[in-house]
Amino acid sequence: MSIIMTGGGTGGHLAIIRAVKDSLVLDNSKDLVYVGSMAGQDRAWFEDDNDFSSKYFFETRGVVNQGTLGKVKSLFMMLKATLKSIGIIRKHKAKVIFCVGGFSAAPMAFASKLTGTPLVIHEQNASLGSLNKLLKPYAKYFISSYLDKSPIKAYPLKNIFFTNAHLRDSVKTVIFVGGSQGAKAINTLALQIAPELKQRGIKIIHQAGSKNIDEVKEAYSKLDIEADVFGFTNKLAEYMNKADFAIARAGASTLWELSATALPTLFIPYPYATSDHQYYNAKFLVDKNLAWLMREDELDSKEILKLLDSDMREKSQALMDIVQKDGSLKIAKLLTQI
C-alpha cells in the first residue's frame, strides 16, 4: 500500500506532513512517497528524509501575485507537473493522497481527481486556502480543527506540547513569539513594555527572528534588562513551558502549540497574511474566550500590561479542556483505513 503526501512551500504546511508521517512510520508496512516543489522549503525539510521511499520535487510556483505572463508560465508548469503526478500515482499504486495545501500540492491534488485516487485534505487555517477551497468538494475527507463537521478536530502536534500543559496562576515569565523570521511589531512592543516587566519582576523570553537577534539583544542591553533572545530554535516547546503568558503571531502551528501548552496568549496577527487567515485563526479562540486579540494598528502597551492581571488560571484550564490530543495519529489511522 502506498500513501502519497503532498503540499508545502511554507513551514506551516510541512510541519503537518512531518507530524502525520512520523505517526505513519510506526507501521513499517506503509510505503510513503512525498511530492513537493523545488521552490519553497520542501527540499530542505524532506530531501534527506529516509522515511519516504521516494521523493519528487517539481518546478512549480504560485499563480497568485504574478503578472499575466507569469500566470501563464505558472499554469504551464503546473500542467506539466500534473501529468508527471499521474505517472507517480500509477507507478507507486497509490491508495490515497494526503494534501496539506500550498502551491506545492496542486499538481498531485489535481492528479488524484483525474485518476480517481481518494484525496484527504488537511486545512491548517480558519480561513480556507485557495487550493483547499477549490478541492474541498472533491475530497473524501476534509480535516480542519475549526470546522464542526471535520472528521478529526485535533490539530497534528508533537506530544511534548500536551505533556508540558499546566495551569498558570500568575505571570512570572512572558514569551514573545514572532516566528523564526521575527516580527517587527512584536519586537517593538516587547522593548516598549520591557521596563515595566522588569519593574514587576517578570522574566522575558523573546523569539526575535534570526535576522534581528543582535539588534534586539543590544536594545535590551541598553535598557539594562536581561532577556533570553533567540531566532530559530528546536526548543520552542521548552520555552513555552517556562512562560505564563505569550504575545505571538497567529500562524496555525504556533496558535495550536501555545493552546496545547495551555498558555494564555495575546495574538497579534500578521496583517499581510493571505486572506487575513492569522486574524481568523486567533478569532476562533477569542470567540470561545480562550485568548486575546489585537491588530498591529490597535496595539496599546497600557492595555496589554493590564492583561497581565487577568485570570490566567481560567484561560489555562479552558485551553486544557478544549484542545484535543493525538491529531497526527488519528489522521494516520484514517489514511491507513482508506
Beta bridge partners of 141: 120
Q: What is the pLDDT of residue 29?
A: 65
- Total length of the chain: 338
Judge whether 173 and 203 are in contact, CB under 8 Å: yes
Render pLDDT for 272-326 as a digit per residue (tens, 0 to 9).
988 899 999 999 999 999 999 999 999 999 999 999 999 999 999 999 998 999 9
112 φ, ψ (degrees, to nearest 5): -65, -40
Q: Which domains does the chain have, with CATH numbers?
A: 2-155+325-337 (3.40.50.2000), 160-322 (3.40.50.2000)
Q: What angle do CA 214, 256, 260 make, to 5 degrees?
A: 105
Q: What is the DSSP letter of 129?
A: P
Distance of alpha carbon 227 from alpha carbon 231, whole angstroms: 13
Is 260 a residue whose pLDDT tops 80? yes
Judge whether 33 and 4 are in contact, CB under 8 Å: yes
Render pLDDT for 138-184 as a digit per residue (tens, 0 to 9).
999 999 999 999 999 999 998 899 999 999 999 999 999 998 677 89
Beta bridge partners of 293: 267
196, 218, 195, 191: which is closest to 206 by C-alpha?
191
Beta bridge partners of 120: 98, 141
Place of cell 502551528: 253
| 187 burial level (CB within 10 Å; 0-12, 13-18, 19+) | buried
